[in-house]
Chain A
Amino acid sequence: MAKNDTLKTASVLAFERKLDPSDALFRAGNWEDRAQVTQWAFIPVREKSVRGTISNRLKAKDQDPLKLDAAIENPNLQTVDVATLPHEADTLAVRFTLRVLAGAGTPSACNDAEYQKKLAQTVSGYVNEHGFDELAHRYACNLANGRFLWRNRIGAEEVEVVVSQMKEGQPEKTWTFNALEQSTRDFTGDAQTRELGGTIAQALAGKQYLLLDVVAFARIGAGQEVFPSQELILDRSRGDKSKTLYSIGDGDDKKAAIHSQKLGNALRTIDTWYPVPEDSNGLGPIAIEPYGSVTTQGTAYRQPNPGKGKEKLDFYNLLDNWLLKDQIPPVDQQHFVMATLIRGGVFGDAG
C-alpha cells in the first residue's frame, strides 16, 4: 500500500469561490409585462414605526408584579424597515448575475508544492471519473426551482425563472422554468435543467467562460410584503431600529436587495449526502458547509466527532483521508468534498 507518511496538509490553503453571484435587486411590475422587466421600478425600503405589545418571555426576576407594571408603562415601540410591492403591481422581479469560474480544486493560495501536486492529482481523478455533471446539475436545479428567492417563493401563486447565458452583454441562450413545478426536495430535474447543468459543468471544467443573467418573477399579489435580506447590525444600542433591511443606494433612493452570500447559500444547498439523524423524517437538502452546519436549527449535521461507531463525514476528515491516507471516500462524499472546494474557503492546517 502506497501510504505516504511525509505528506502533510499545507498550513496555507485557500480556495476562491467558483460560483460568484452578484447582489440581487428587487423590482415590481405586473405579471403580464414580464418581457419589459428592465423598465420596472425598483422597490424602495421604507421605515415604519409601530407600537407593539410586550410579548417576549420575561426573565424570572421581571415576573414580579411590580416590575411587570413598570414594564407596561413603556409599551414596545419599534422602528422597523419594510419593503412591499406597490398597490398597482402584483409581481416581484429578483435579478442577479452569476459568474461560473474554472479551476475548481486549484487553490488560490498553497504553500506546499507536494500537497498541491497531490491535490491536483486527486481532483483530476475525480473529474475524469465523474466530471462536474452531478454537481452542476444540482446547481442548475437550484436556479430553476427559485430556491434563492427564500421567503418570497413561499406563498407565491406563480414563479417563473428566466436564465440567460450572456455573451458580450447580449443573451445568447435562454432557459425559462416554471419554478413551482421544480422540486426543492430532490434533484431529479428535467431536460432543461440538464442542459443548463451541462453548460455550468463545461464552465467549471474550464472549457468555456460563463456568465448567467437570472431573473425570477414571483406573483405575490398587489401591495404584499416582500423579503429582502435582513442586515446584521452589531453593537446596537437600545432604541435603535430593530430591523434593518439590505438596500443599495442612499437617502431616499434605497433599493431593496438580497445579499450575494444568501444567493450563494441557496445555490449550494445541494448536500443530500449528510448522515441523517435517526429521529428525523427527511429534512431535505442542506447547504454545502464543511461541518454541515444549519444555522437556523443550530445544528451541524457533519460532526467531526460523531461518536463511537459512526463515520466522520465532515469536510476536513474526508479531505485528509483522501489526500494523506489514500482512503478514497464513497462517491457521494467525493461530490461533497468537491462541492466544498467550489464553495471556497480557507482550509489550511490549524497546526
Chain B
Amino acid sequence: MDHYIDIRLRPDPDFAPAMLMGALYNKLHRALFDLQATDLGVSFPAHKHGVRARTLGDHLRLHGTQGRLEQLMGADWLTGMRDHTQVSELLAVPDNAQHINVARKQFNTGSPSRAKRYAKRHDISEGEAQQIYANLAARRIELPFVQINSRSTQQRFSLFIEHGMSQEKLVAGSFNHYGLSPDATVPWF
C-alpha cells in the first residue's frame, strides 16, 4: 500500500459527477473482480457526508503496491471512461501520511421483502410488519453511496461507504472487490 493512483473526473456538460463516479466505480469493481484482488484499496479524498450533501466527490484514489497497481492499470479497465477522467502517474505515498479505514456499511432500509420475512418469522400480518419497518424506511442515511451492479450476484444495490477517523497506525488486512475493507486501512493525505 505504498503507492497510489489518483483518478479525477473531468467536468462534463452532460453528465453529473455522481453519475460518472458510478460508472467509474462499476468498472473498477469489474476489474478488481477479474483480478481477484484482495490487496487493492480505494479512498475518496473529496467525499462529503450528511443528509444534505452526501457524495463521493470527483476524486477516486487507488491504493496498492507498485507491482499490483501496474498490473491493474495494464488490464485496460478504463476503456470508455478515458474521456471522462484524468489519471495520474503511479506515485509513492508521502511519508507523513495518516491511515484511514474505508468500509462498506449496510443498512436495514425496511424493504418490502424484509418486512415480509419479519412478518413470517414473528407470525404477524405484513401490514403490521410494514408499520414496524416504516421508521427504518424513512430514516435518512448520511453516508455517500454509489449504485453498483455486483459482478458475482448480478444484483443492483446502493453501496454506502464510510470513511473512518484518520489515525497514526496502519492496520493490515484484506480488501474486497470494491476496494473496501472492514478493518484494514489505506493511506490518507
A interface residues, Cβ below 8 angstroms from B:
51, 53-55, 57, 71-73, 75, 150-151, 153-159, 180, 183-185, 221, 223-225, 269, 280-284, 286-287, 294, 296-297
A265 to chain B, nearest CB (A): 9
The reply on B23 being an interface residue by CB < 8 A is yes
Residues of B within 8 A of A296 (CB): 13-16
Q: Complex Cα distance A55/B20, Å?
A: 21
Ranked nearest first, the 4 interchain pairs of A and B with the lowest CB-CB distance are A72-B138, A155-B23, A294-B13, A154-B23
Q: Are A54 and B52 in contact (CB under 8 A)?
A: no
Q: Complex Cα distance A221/B138, Å?
A: 33
For the A-B complex with A72-B135, A281-B11 known, give 19 more contacts whose Cβ atoms are closer than 8 Å.
Answer: A53-B109, A53-B138, A53-B140, A54-B140, A57-B52, A75-B134, A153-B80, A154-B23, A154-B80, A155-B27, A155-B81, A156-B80, A158-B79, A185-B10, A225-B156, A280-B11, A283-B11, A283-B12, A284-B10
The reply on B152 being an interface residue by CB < 8 A is no
The residues in B between 5 and 64 inclusive whose CB is less than 8 angstroms from any CB of A are 10-16, 19-20, 23, 26-27, 51-52
B interface residues, Cβ below 8 angstroms from A:
10-16, 19-20, 23, 26-27, 51-52, 79-84, 109-112, 134-135, 137-140, 149, 154, 156
Q: Are A154 and B81 in contact (CB under 8 A)?
A: yes
Q: Complex Cα distance A156/B78, Å?
A: 10
A152 to chain B, nearest CB (A): 11
Q: Complex Cα distance A180/B79, Å?
A: 7
Q: Complex Cα distance A102/B16, Å?
A: 36
Q: Complex Cα distance A287/B12, Å?
A: 12
Residues of A within 8 A of B81 (CB): 154-155
Q: Complex Cα distance A159/B112, Å?
A: 37
Q: Are A154 and B138 in contact (CB under 8 A)?
A: no
Q: Are A297 and B15 in contact (CB under 8 A)?
A: no
Q: Are B13 and A284 in contact (CB under 8 A)?
A: yes
Residues of B within 8 A of A157 (CB): 79-80
B141 to chain A, nearest CB (A): 8
**A57 nearest CB neighbor, chain B only:** B52
A31 to chain B, nearest CB (A): 14
- State whether A185 and B83 are in contact (beta carbons under 8 Å apart), knowing that A53-B137, A75-B137 are contacts in the complex: yes
Q: Complex Cα distance A150/B15, Å?
A: 9
**B151 nearest CB neighbor, chain A only:** A221
Q: Is the interface of A mostly helix, strand, loop or mixed?
A: loop
**B12 nearest CB neighbor, chain A only:** A284
Q: Are A154 and B11 in contact (CB under 8 A)?
A: no
Residues of B within 8 A of A180 (CB): 79-80, 82
**A146 nearest CB neighbor, chain B only:** B80
**A221 nearest CB neighbor, chain B only:** B149
**A222 nearest CB neighbor, chain B only:** B154
A271 to chain B, nearest CB (A): 10
B54 to chain A, nearest CB (A): 10
**B22 nearest CB neighbor, chain A only:** A155
B83 to chain A, nearest CB (A): 5
**B140 nearest CB neighbor, chain A only:** A55
21 A-B residue pairs with Cβ-Cβ distance under 8 Å, sorted by A, are A51-B112, A51-B137, A53-B140, A73-B134, A153-B80, A154-B20, A155-B81, A180-B82, A223-B154, A224-B149, A225-B156, A283-B13, A284-B10, A284-B11, A284-B13, A284-B83, A287-B13, A294-B13, A296-B14, A296-B16, A297-B13
Q: Are A150 and B135 in contact (CB under 8 A)?
A: no
**B131 nearest CB neighbor, chain A only:** A73
B174 to chain A, nearest CB (A): 27
Q: Are B80 and A286 in contact (CB under 8 A)?
A: no
Q: Complex Cα distance A206/B188, Å?
A: 61
Residues of A within 8 A of B137 (CB): 51, 53, 72, 75
A92 to chain B, nearest CB (A): 14
A290 to chain B, nearest CB (A): 16
Q: Complex Cα distance A61/B20, Å?
A: 34
Q: Are A155 and B52 in contact (CB under 8 A)?
A: no
- State whether A72 and B10 are in contact (beta carbons under 8 Å apart), knowing that A156-B80, A183-B83 are contacts in the complex: no
Q: Are A54 and B80 in contact (CB under 8 A)?
A: no
Q: Which of A53, A155, A183, A284 interacts with B26 by CB under 8 Å?
A: A155
B17 to chain A, nearest CB (A): 12
Q: Are A72 and B134 in contact (CB under 8 A)?
A: yes
Residues of A within 8 A of B16 (CB): 296
**A186 nearest CB neighbor, chain B only:** B83
